[in-house]
Amino acid sequence: MGAQWKAKHKEVAANLKGKVFGKLSKEIMVAARNGADPAMNPRLRLAIEQAKKASMPRDTLERAIKKGAGLLDGGVNFEKVVYEGFAPHRVPVIVECLTDNVNRTISSMRVLFRKGQLGASGSVSWDFDHLGIIEASGQADAELAAIEAGAEDFEVDDEGEVTFYTAMTDLDSVCRELPQHGFTVQSAKLGYRAKNPVSLADAERDEVIAFLEAMDADDDVQHVYVGLGA
């Protein structure tokens, strides 16, 4: 789960879209280090598909690929760093960042975790599974699609959107198979799923959501995973 909210004004929506493009560009640049050809680079192919679904301009997408592959001068070398800790009310959180300045990022994390607790590596990751996460939409039988496409598990949310979970090595193959079984892939990535989500009352849950929104708004943060029950 990540922070989710709706923009109330066009200016806010535009700013949020800019942040989305920035995060997608980073993911594309990092993926392109292993080659600029998406046909030979599954991680890049998935990142490109996600960028297209977000309506990223073609020139922005192509520039990110070239920068990541070292085909342009002035490329930026992003480093992946992962932080673990707790949101308010001891809810476990894993934060994945891509940064060109680790010192800046850790300073930001210390500030953002003040309403919770920043932990050491391994402090909460033991309570999460590391796997493939595919968000998809469709009217077909999700259970049947999961079985036939090779997913390990699935969840359907209140709006009918389906999240399929796969072994890390099966992420790309399941993405390719799902459209054959009536589902359109909206996003796909390697991520974390909580083993024992924490259930909270509404007021406490709101505090956690506010914490997640602030975390997700940081420019260096790519993904936020939280052990918060529905």
- The pLDDT mean for the chain works out to 87
184-194, strands of its sheet edge to edge: 153-156, 162-166, 128-137, 184-194
Residue 206's domain comprises 79-125+196-226
Report if residue 87 sits inside a domain: yes
Whole-model pTM: value is: 0.82
How much is the pLDDT for 13? 44
Q: pLDDT tens digits, residue range 182-210? A: 999 888 889 999 999 999 999 999 999 99
| Rg, Å, the chain Cα set | 18
CATH of the domain at 221: 3.30.70.980
Whether 105 is in a domain gets the answer: yes
- Kindly report, residue by residue over 5-64, the tens digit of the pLDDT: 233 333 434 445 677 888 889 989 988 988 889 888 888 888 898 888 888 999 999 999
pLDDT score of 75: 63
Residues 28 and 59 in one domain: yes
Secondary structure of residue 54 in the 3-state scheme: coil
166 versus 159: the higher-pLDDT residue is 166
| 17 and 56 both lie in a single domain | yes
- The tally of domains found in the chain comes to 3
Residue 221 has what pLDDT? 93
